[in-house]
Amino acid sequence: MNEETNTAAPEAAAEPAPTKRPKKPSKSNRRTLSFVVLFIVYVAAMLTGYQYAINSEANMWYLYQVARDTGWILDKVGEEAVVEPNQLAGSRRAELETWRNGGDAPPEGAVTDDTSPLTAYETWLYKAYSIVNGGGSLQEKGPLVRFTLTLGLRMEQQLLRDRRAEVQRDQTLEADEKKKQRAALDEELARLEEEDENLPSGDEGRARRNGKAFSFTLVPDCGAIPSMSIFIAAVIAFPARWWKRIAGVLAGVPLLYAVNLGRISSLGYLGAVEGKDLKWFDFAHHYVWQGIFIIFVVALWMAWIEFVVRRERS
């Protein structure tokens, strides 16, 4: 009888487990990383550059433009807004011009024939150069804005007295007309003096007597350069066509400038309304408007991406 032999088939050799290759970063991830790195570099470069330029005449000019435009807005909502109200004597013009030309002091015997007071801009430049040449910094300095929301009785009386003096000096007026205008001014002045005497004591009477006014200084932080730098860096670093980036900067920066003017003007108005305490002014200045401005920067950047960059891709 034949014996059957069962021979087991040899087991197949185990295949080595496939080694996992590290995944390469996707194109999207690389673009995101590139954007983040470039954004940080651009912001750091612009903010560092501004710190070096803070004492330059270019920055002096920019701060004055912010103050002037803010004053223009406040002038529309109140009695008046004046930039650098205490203008300096024209005798300091030679010293200012020497500083602007890079000198340390005016030449010996330098005298200017122009005796007119320095303009508001020249007054601010003189103050700024005095600080810088004295070894100081404009970090916490800027042009002064004096905003008068409502005139007080004292100011109204002074204006009437000034007007009466002008009428008295006016040689073009006939004697009868001059007498008539003086009488009308005297009558109005007497009415204001009587009102002043009958004012109640306390805050109400003090507010009517002194009016509502607020003076503030436009320091470099008020110019919103750091916020604008963040917006510009975000636009330039974003992967888009260069003409789209340039268009975003050219459209976005003026909008941010306008929002900043609204911010400063509203704070000036609030300061005049609130008077001495300034509790709500400080809260709006340090918290409310800081948050609003950051939100606006982000929203403007996202709107640029949505309506300018992605429109081309779609």
What pLDDT, on a 0 to 100 scale, did the predictor assign at position 3?
Answer: 46
Distance of CA 152 to the CA centre of its chain: 29
Written as six digits, the tokens of 7 are: 């021979």
What pLDDT, on a 0 to 100 scale, did the predictor assign at position 113?
Answer: 63
Separation CA 267–CA 261 (nearest Å): 10
Q: Dihedral of CA 54/58/61/63: which sign?
A: negative
**Single-letter residue type at 122:** E
Alpha helices, DSSP H only, in 54-174? Answer: 57-77, 93-100, 120-133, 153-169
Written as six digits, the tokens of 269 are: 């108005």
**Which tens digit of pLDDT belongs to each residue from 56-65?**
999 999 999 9
What pLDDT, on a 0 to 100 scale, did the predictor assign at position 221?
Answer: 92
Beta bridge partners of 81: 147
Alpha helices, DSSP H only, in the chain? Answer: 27-53, 57-77, 93-100, 120-133, 153-169, 175-197, 203-210, 225-237, 242-274, 279-283, 289-304, 310-313
**Which tens digit of pLDDT belongs to each residue from 93-114?**
999 999 999 887 665 555 556 6
Nearest to 219 by CA among 89, 131, 122: 131
What pLDDT, on a 0 to 100 scale, did the predictor assign at position 301?
Answer: 96
Would you write out the chain's pLDDT as a tens digit for each of its 314 residues?
Answer: 444 444 444 555 555 555 555 555 667 788 889 999 999 999 999 999 999 999 999 999 999 999 999 999 999 999 999 999 888 888 899 999 999 998 876 655 555 566 789 999 999 999 999 999 999 999 999 999 999 998 888 878 888 888 888 888 888 888 888 889 899 999 988 988 888 888 888 767 777 777 888 999 999 999 999 999 999 999 999 999 999 999 999 999 999 999 999 999 999 999 999 887 889 999 999 999 999 999 999 999 999 999 999 875 54
Q: Residue 110 in contact with residue 235, Cβ under 8 Å?
A: no
Nearest to 139 by CA among 219, 53, 85: 219
Task: Kindly tell me the burial class for residue 212, based on how many C-beta atoms sit within 10 Å of its own C-beta (0-12, 13-18, 19 or more).
Answer: buried
Burial 40-71 (b: 16+ CB within 10 A, else e): eebbeebeeebeeebbeeebbebbbebbbbbb
Separation CA 46–CA 145 (nearest Å): 28
Length of the chain, in residues: 314
Written as six digits, the tokens of 305 are: 């991406």
Separation CA 306–CA 304 (nearest Å): 6
Beta bridge partners of 144: 217
What pLDDT, on a 0 to 100 scale, did the predictor assign at position 20?
Answer: 58
**Which tens digit of pLDDT belongs to each residue from 261-303?**
999 999 999 999 988 788 999 999 999 999 999 999 999 999 9
